[in-house]
Structure 1
Amino acid sequence: MASTEQGNMDDQYHRHHNLEIQLENASLGEKLRDVRYVTFLLIGIALLWPWNTFLSASLYFQHDVFHDDTIYAKIYISTMMSISTLSSVGFNFWLSKRQHSYATRVTRGLTWEVLVFGLLSVFVLVHKLFPPWLNFAFLMLMVLASSCGTAMTQNGAMALANVFGPQFSQSIMMGQGIAGVLPSLVLFCVSYIGDPRDQSVGGIFAYFCTTVMVSILCIVLYRFSAIGSADKSEVLMEDPACNRETDAVAFSTLFSKLKYLVLSIFTTFVVTLLFPVFAANTFVVRLSMNNAQYIPFIFTIWNLGDLYGRAISEKAFFQSSNFTPLRTFIYSLARIGLVPLFFCFNLNDRLKTSSTVLSDLGYIVLQFIFGVTNGNILSISFMKVSPQLSSDKERKAAGGFTNIFLSSGLAFGSLLSYAFVYIVRTCMTAKA
């Protein structure tokens, strides 16, 4: 019996092994000719795109919808972040306990995003007809639905990626990195044109419609790729004789095999959520740009570093057996050492009269390194999940399991960021 079970596990492990080996040694151009790789890449973009859309439209909602000085404008961002992170944690936990129907979750979650941003596109045109409280309630409901849709898509996509192999996990990570760079680059360019709050209704409408189109394109490509057909393939076929509840992979089993990887994911997100605190409060010293241009520039630099970190994660050094999950966890802990360095730079203009352009350049390098390490650790962690597990059943279950630590890291990091806002302001006031 044991030998039969081991044989089944070996068959599952080698099912996509040849495809994984081909991609592992392929150039980026060759990977982009593989429709499955491109599908996972686009799914990665679609996972982060809705969140970036909400963030990028924050100034529009505060300025045009809630008119800056109202209570709704003041609490919009904090409420949006709280609802998004907490609902993501709860929904990811709920999904991870239901270890079935992974393939359909991808399109179901993307369909939710189409509906959410389709409604938001209409909202932009008609919001003046409704009172502020109703507009605020509607937007928070859309944030909640979008967060749950993203969690659903990510749960299914990571389950599939774990089955197909580390290269496909890395493809999702690359897609998320691309989705991070594009909005920050746009905001940086806009900062040279005018006040980013002065966004036209047509521009915001087009922005939301673009999110709808990205999700629809993702659904179409998923349906017509090998990943879409996996709904009926033996890779994801359920045994009618099994009981989904009693045959579920226990969290204790997954944690025993993945503890260092999921702890790396959690730690990385907790530390990374401190980045916006420093990015928004560290100002230019001598470079020929104002703060309204410098801050979006820093966000762009960080996101470029993040994308680069994800791209190099497939290198042999990081994927070798010597770079163990434990070393990945130590790497994530060592990254905490970068945080005190942010206090050495121009927080709240305290170095304005005493520093040179080297202060700006040093800060830019630090933010780039902070971004590189973020993308690198996350990609390494997700890529190493599949090889640590012994069956496709465990690999699929690990998709939801890792997402619990991802969303928990984001939630805990967002709460910790409030403490760092207080620390930054207190330290700067004391030194002043």
Structure 2
Amino acid sequence: MERIRKIFERRISYEPLEGGSEGPNGEQIEHPKQHAGAFSWIDYSVFLLLGVAMLWAWNMFLAAAPYFQKRFEADDRLLRNFQSAELSVSTVGNLGSMIVLTKLQARASYPKRIVASLVLNIVVFTLLAISTRIFLGVSPGVYFGFLMVVVFVASLATGLCQNGVFAFVSGFGHEEYTQGIMAGQGIAGVLPCIAQIISVLSVSGNQSSENGAQGSSTSAFAYFLTASAVSAITLVAFVYLLSRNSAKDRLKDSLAPDEDEAGLPLSGGKKSIPLTVLFRKLFWLAAAVFLTFALTMLYPVYTSQIQSVRDPATSSRIYQPATFIPIAFLFWNLGDLTGRMLPAIPKLSLTAYPRTLFILSASRIAFIPLYLLCNLQGKGAKVNSDFFYLFIVQALFGVTNGYIGSNCMMGFVEWVDPEEREAAGGFMSLCLVAGLTVGSFMSFFAAG
């Protein structure tokens, strides 16, 4: 790993500003040092749970796809396009909220944003759970409108959570906490896949065909209630975190009035950091996280279309599309979770090498032609191997996503001044969501 670092490292390195920012005449402005408190596994666990809650909602929408298919089966147009509509509404709403929230830095209360996001998720998914039991006779068009509204509100909640959590955690001074958030996001991708596989295999073939509507409705009810429960548990844990001394000290520092160069306090609370300043300091990391997640959004398109190379008519249920596709999602998410855990090992961390991370993120485009070698839409595979698809393509693509993304989101605090960390956290999460949004529109071309 050290040799790889040296290969990509340039003589003129991308380094943090020493001594802080410069004044109008070029003099160095010294900033008071912020001492990070001792690492706490309790704090880490809460941030891990926040990471789970952040993406659990989105994964619940994916896991409930069979239920939505049953609700829209009477309308072919909605049946074909509801997933693309979910993706577009969610990413656009998420990006729009992130842009607004990033601009509203000066008087931002990041804990309030986190609490608001969790409350919104509880309300949204409770309503979705109720919709699986009542109003079952409404037309597909009416239910589609309801679904788009709740998807949009859930995307706003995700934006609030992403902006608030990454900004809030930056003030603790521990990269491990950010890694905990990224690991939690990985867990949120793994568990729904496992639940979906178990639910498919636990029902016999005859039962699944005869009671498909009832089974999918029951599964969706459980999925949505689980999402509400996860958000409620996370809310309680976060309130507890705010009562701890580590969080109180961090809030005291972030809410302290700013001082001018003469040491006099300024009115108006925290100063707003221009996005151009953050872009200049975090260019390589921002570009790396944007490109990483833009390319990642192509994998769901291929995963939902690639089938096992074995004949589904004669092979076991594991190799049939209803089970094989969730297994493929599971492999990707397990790889993603593994990649998110790797930066916790100091020798495997690349936070000090932004250019290297950008080069690695750009090289992930090589996975796209690898997907085309697999059994896409059952038309035959150039590489006739499920092992190649699951372990080489899916798992490694997931590992690279988790590894590069975690390094980028962990490392940005090293490249900005202490008072810029909160704004930088919001800026990096904005770049992440922008990558997801661009990737979601690119996925339409991949599907075609």
- Taking the aligned partners of 2:218 and 2:199, their CA distance within structure 1 comes to 16
- State which of 361, 372, 378 in structure 1 corresponds to 2:405: 378
| Structure 1 partner of 2:119 | 111
Number of the residue aligned with 1:38: 45
C-alpha contact (below 8 Å) 1:104/1:231 kept by paired residues: no
Distance in structure 2 (CA, Å) of the matches to 1:305 and 1:234: 39
8 Å CA contact 1:318–1:380 kept in 2: the answer is: no
Amino acid of the structure 2 residue aligned with 1:307: L
Q: Return 172-181 or 276-285, whichever deviates more.
A: 276-285
Q: Which of these residues, 185, 194, 207, is aligned with residue 185 of structure 1?
A: 194
In 2, Cα distance between equivalents of 1:215 and 1:237: 27
**Secondary structure of 2:201's aligned partner:** coil
Higher helix proportion (structure 1 or 2): 1
**Corresponding residue number in structure 1 for 2:15:** none
2:175 pairs with 1:166: yes
Asked if structure 2 preserves the Cα contact closer than 8 Å seen for 1:285 and 1:355, the reply is: no
SS at match of 1:285: coil
CA contact (8 A) 1:264 1:332 kept: yes
What does the per-residue CA deviation read over 1:234-276, in whole Å, with 9 as the maximum and x for residues that have no partner? 1321528645599200101111111111111111111111111
- Partners of 1:246 and 1:210 lie apart in 2 by 38
How many residue pairs are counted as aligned between the two chains? 399
Whether 1:90 aligns to 2:96 is yes
Query: Displacement of 1:226 after TM fit?
Result: 4.6
Gaps of 5+ in 1: 24-30, 423-432
**Offset of residue 342 of structure 1:** 1.7
1:390 has 2:406 as partner? no
Whether the 8 Å contact between 1:103 and 1:236 is mirrored in structure 2 is no
1:379-418 equivalences under 5 Å are 379-391=406-418, 393-418=419-444
Where in structure 2 are there 5+ consecutive unaligned residues? Answer: 1-21, 259-264
Deviation at 1:387, TM superposition (A): 1.4
Match of 1:363 in 2: 389
Q: Are the aligned partners of 2:75 and 2:140 in contact in 1 as well (CA < 8 Å)? A: no
Letter of the 1:225 partner, please give it. L
**Counterpart check, 1:222 vs 2:249:** no
Q: CA RMSD in A?
A: 2.5
The 3 A distance-change label for structure 1 pair 350 and 126 is closer
Aligned to 1:138: 146
The code of the aligned residue for 2:73 comes to H
- Kindly indicate whether the alpha-carbon contact (under 8 Å) linking 1:314 and 1:380 is maintained by their aligned counterparts in 2: no
Q: Which amino acid aligns with 1:146?
A: A
Distance 2:383 2:220 in 1: 39
Give distance in 1, aligned partners of 2:383 and 2:280: 50
- 1:186-226 deviation per Cα after TM superposition (whole angstroms, max 9, x unaligned): 22223323449542544322321211111111111111125
**In the TM superposition, what is the alpha-carbon distance from 1:131 to its structure 2 partner?**
3.7
The aligned residue for residue 125 of structure 1 is: 133
Mark the CA change 1:78 to 1:106 in structure 2 (over 3 Å): closer, same or farther.
Answer: same
Question: Aligned with 2:252: secondary structure?
Answer: coil
- For residues 81-116 of structure 1, give each alpha carbon's deviation from its aligned partner in whole angstroms, at most 9, with x where no partner exists: 111000111110000011121121111111111111
2:257 equivalent in structure 1? 239
8 Å contact kept, 2:343–2:350? no
Mapped pair 1:284 → 2:308:
yes
The residue that corresponds to 1:270 in the other structure is 294
Q: Amino acid of the residue matched to residue 399 of structure 1? A: G
Distance 1:224 1:293 in 2: 40
> TM-score of the superposition, structure 2-length normalised?
0.83
